[in-house]
């Protein structure tokens, strides 16, 4: 039996109106990679924040190597040997790599650059991190920055390393490197807590899984004894049949012969999108797919007018239209749920209600505000419809979990009753349960006649909802697939192969 590094016993934490954690326990042993799993709002983030001293717990006990400790601040946590690497890199981009590894540590008054750079070089080489000590951190890729953060933690003799969604913004190669670094650390006896939404990654590197649900402890399992489907069931708290339902629903969406909602000929954008033709009918769900950087998001941003179009004839509902800015698109009854919800979507400090009515309010005009009652009714209706988990309609959106924030933006656009709704990565960074809900919702809306463009990095997901896929490479549309062509294999080949190949 490996020695226990960290033990959290019966942790409870309450926020106004929400019991974020109730009697949650978590045990980390040395030399293991331990996945912390749960849906959005399950309490993973809260637990991590309690552990790192960002939040104080209401009750419970944290033991480090058997001794009870009190963690009051991130500094305390560091001093105890508990280090955290967050999804958003928490280093200083303006400093050098070496500085970022050593700043704020130990007792010193003067910086010895030569010694610091030498130590940093040793550590970077030792861990195989491709960065130079004197390099400014901002000039490293995101993945390398994350590894630098890990190197810092390792050098601080961390006993417990917490990786909070470290892979969300990394590409595949960087993930591979990160995993080999994690395995390396495991062999050195470091206990690693790994929080992620990617199930495959859990099965790739982890030894143990602890599942949380709605702030409660569900159980601790070893990876072998918990196959994927069981894990999902444990996370959602029910047997999972939704996935199969979905594929049935998808086949129900037939090729509609109804009118075009939106047509564009020769549309190109200032964001580098090469001219392409695009049209979508009522009740159709299509998708843009392609590798990272292929121009999926750029295309839909051009359609919505979020990025300037350079050329193109646009017809909305059969009539010529000009879409120069998002407001034009909104007037043409087009909605757009942006890829980056934090930057382009939510306004974190405004309430859920204000965020929901925002788009409709803009269309109505700033001088005709909705009455309090109207706004309240809209908000309540959609909070209920989409099952948004919030303390109240008055709570600031920033306080909600990622999936619920996404639902709020979705509610915002549904409220405008668009004819054509563009969803750019609506399921990114949210848990599997909410994912399935959103997929189902998309299909239901389509069956009610709405035209929908659905973009996702997960091809399986797109295959489930889309009846037509537009394949992009290097900002060009290189193919369009429908019906029986819609297989993962075919899509991959279209992405990889030439345009002629795709037409075949």
Partner 1 sequence: MPKLRFGKGGQPLTDSNLLLVITVSIFAAMYIISMIAFGGGFLNPQQFLNLFNENASLIVLACGLSIVMVTAGIDISVGGVTALVTVCCAVHLQGQGGNVPASLILALAIGVAFGLIQGLLVAYLDVQPFIITLAGMFLARGAATMVEVNPITVTHAGFAALRKIEIRIPGIGYYAKNGNFINSKIELGVIIALIVLIAVFAMFKWTRFGRNLYAIGGNSQSALMLGINIKRTKFFAYLLCGGLAGLGGFIYLLHTGSGAVTQATGTEMKAIAASIIGGFLLSGGVGNILGTLFGVISLVTINNIVVSMGLKGPWWQGITTGAMLCFFIVLQSIIMSRRNGGKAVRPIWMRKSREIGS
Rounded (10°) CA dihedral 129, 132, 138, 142? -10
326 lines the binding site for partner 1 (CB under 8 A): no
419 lines the binding site for partner 1 (CB under 8 A): no
In sequence order, which residues have a C-beta less than 8 Å from that of residue 500 and are 6 or more positions away? none
User: Which of 2, 59, 70, 104 touches partner 1 by CB under 8 A?
Assistant: 104
User: What are the distances in angstroms from CA 477 to CA 74, 98, 300, 317, 422?
Assistant: 48, 43, 12, 23, 17
What count of Cα atoms within 13 Å lies in the side-chain half-sphere of residue 258? Answer: 18
105 lines the binding site for partner 1 (CB under 8 A): yes
- Taking the CA atoms of 372, 403, 213 and 244 in sequence, report the sign of the dihedral they define: positive
Name the one range near partner 1 by CB under 8 A: 17-25, 109-117, 431-439, 485-493: 109-117
110 lines the binding site for partner 1 (CB under 8 A): yes
Written as six digits, the tokens of 345 are 């979507």
Name the one range near partner 1 by CB under 8 A: 42-50, 72-80, 361-369, 476-484: 72-80
DSSP 91: S
Q: Are strands 82-85 and 67-69 parallel, antiparallel or unpaired?
A: unpaired
90 lines the binding site for partner 1 (CB under 8 A): yes
122 lines the binding site for partner 1 (CB under 8 A): no
User: Which of 3, 59, 111, 499 touches partner 1 by CB under 8 A?
Assistant: 111
Binding mask 334-373 for partner 1 (x = CB under 8 A): -----xx---------------------------------
Beta-strand runs (E) in 234-385: 260-269, 276-281, 285-290, 309-316, 319-321, 334-337
Residue 479's beta-bridge partner residues?
Answer: 471
473 lines the binding site for partner 1 (CB under 8 A): no
Site for partner 1 in 273-312 (CB under 8 A): 290, 292-298, 301, 306-307
Shortest Å, Cβ 378 to partner 1 = 30
Closest CA to 179 of 167, 196, 162, 193: 167
Nearer to partner 1, 239 or 474 (CB): 474
Per DSSP, the three-state class of 261 is: strand
Name the one range near partner 1 by CB under 8 A: 19-27, 106-114, 204-212, 250-258: 106-114
45 lines the binding site for partner 1 (CB under 8 A): no
328 lines the binding site for partner 1 (CB under 8 A): no
User: What are the distances in angstroms from CA 440 to CA 243, 248, 283, 456, 484?
Assistant: 10, 11, 14, 15, 21
Written as six digits, the tokens of 495 are 């992405």
251 lines the binding site for partner 1 (CB under 8 A): no
Per DSSP, the three-state class of 78 is: helix
138 lines the binding site for partner 1 (CB under 8 A): yes
164 lines the binding site for partner 1 (CB under 8 A): no
Nearer to partner 1, 131 or 358 (CB): 131
Nearer to partner 1, 134 or 350 (CB): 134
In sequence order, which residues have a C-beta less than 8 Å from that of residue 432 and are 6 or more positions away? 39, 197, 199, 232, 235, 236
Nearer to partner 1, 46 or 117 (CB): 117
Applying CB under 8 A, the site for partner 1 has a residue count of 49
- Taking the CA atoms of 296, 139, 202 and 433 in sequence, report the sign of the dihedral they define: negative
Per DSSP, the three-state class of 81 is: coil
User: Which of 63, 134, 348, 395 touches partner 1 by CB under 8 A?
Assistant: 134
Residue at token pair 């809209």: 378
Instruction: Kindly list the residues in this chain that would bind partner 1 in the complex (CB under 8 A).
Output: 74-75, 78, 84, 86, 89-96, 99-100, 103-105, 108-111, 113, 132, 134-136, 138-141, 152, 270-271, 290, 292-298, 301, 306-307, 339-340, 424, 455
């Amino acid at each position: 039996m490996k020695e226990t590094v960290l033990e959290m016993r019966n942790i409870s934490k309450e926020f106004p109106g929400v019991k974020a954690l109730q009697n949650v326990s978590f045990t980390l042993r040395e030399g293991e990679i331990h996945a912390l799993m749960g849906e959005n709002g399950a309490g993973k983030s809260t637990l991590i924040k309690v552990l790192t001293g960002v939040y104080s717990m209401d009750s419970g006990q944290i033991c480090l190597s058997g001794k009870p400790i009190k963690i009051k601040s991130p500094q305390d946590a560091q001093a105890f040997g508990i280090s955290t690497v967050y999804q958003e890199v928490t280093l200083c981009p303006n400093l050098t790599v070496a500085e970022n590894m050593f700043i704020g540590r130990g007792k010193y008054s003067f910086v010895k650059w030569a010694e610091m750079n030498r130590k940093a070089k040793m550590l970077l080489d030792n861990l195989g991190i491709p960065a130079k000590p004197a390099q400014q951190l901002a000039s490293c890729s995101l993945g390398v920055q994350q590894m630098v953060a890990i190197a810092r933690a390792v050098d601080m003799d961390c006993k417990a390393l917490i990786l909070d969604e470290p892979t969300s913004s990394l590409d595949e190669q960087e993930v591979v490197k990160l995993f080999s670094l994690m395995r390396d650390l495991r062999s050195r006896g470091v206990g690693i807590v790994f929080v992620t939404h990617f199930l495959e990654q859990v099965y790739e590197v982890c030894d143990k899984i602890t599942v949380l649900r709605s702030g409660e402890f569900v159980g601790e399992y070893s990876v072998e004894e918990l196959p994927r489907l069981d894990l999902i069931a444990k996370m959602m708290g029910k047997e999972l049949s939704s996935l199969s339902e979905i594929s049935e629903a998808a086949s129900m969406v037939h090729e509609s012969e109804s009118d075009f909602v939106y047509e564009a000929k020769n549309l190109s954008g200032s964001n580098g999108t090469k001219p392409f033709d695009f049209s979508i009918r009522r009740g159709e769900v299509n998708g843009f797919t392609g590798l990272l950087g292929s121009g999926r998001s750029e295309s839909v941003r051009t359609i919505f007018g979020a990025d300037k179009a350079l050329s193109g004839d646009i017809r909305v509902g059969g009539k010529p239209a000009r879409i120069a800015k998002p407001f034009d698109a909104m007037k043409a009854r087009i909605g757009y749920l942006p890829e980056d919800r934090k930057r382009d979507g939510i306004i974190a400090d405004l309430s859920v209600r204000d965020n929901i009515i925002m788009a409709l309010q803009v269309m109505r005009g700033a001088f005709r505000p909705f009455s309090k009652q109207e706004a309240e009714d809209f908000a309540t209706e959609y909070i209920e419809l989409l099952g948004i988990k919030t303390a109240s309609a008055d709570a600031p959106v920033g306080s909600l979990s990622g999936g619920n924030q996404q639902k709020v933006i979705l509610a915002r656009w549904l409220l405008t009753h668009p004819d054509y709704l563009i969803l750019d990565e609506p399921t990114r960074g949210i848990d599997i349960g909410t994912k399935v809900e959103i997929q189902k919702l998309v299909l239901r809306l389509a069956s009610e006649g709405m035209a929908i463009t659905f973009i996702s990095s997960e091809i399986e997901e797109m295959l489930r909802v889309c009846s037509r896929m537009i394949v992009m490479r290097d900002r060009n549309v290189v193919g369009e697939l429908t019906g029986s062509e819609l297989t993962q294999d075919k899509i991959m080949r279209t992405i990889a192969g030439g345009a002629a190949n795709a037409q075949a």
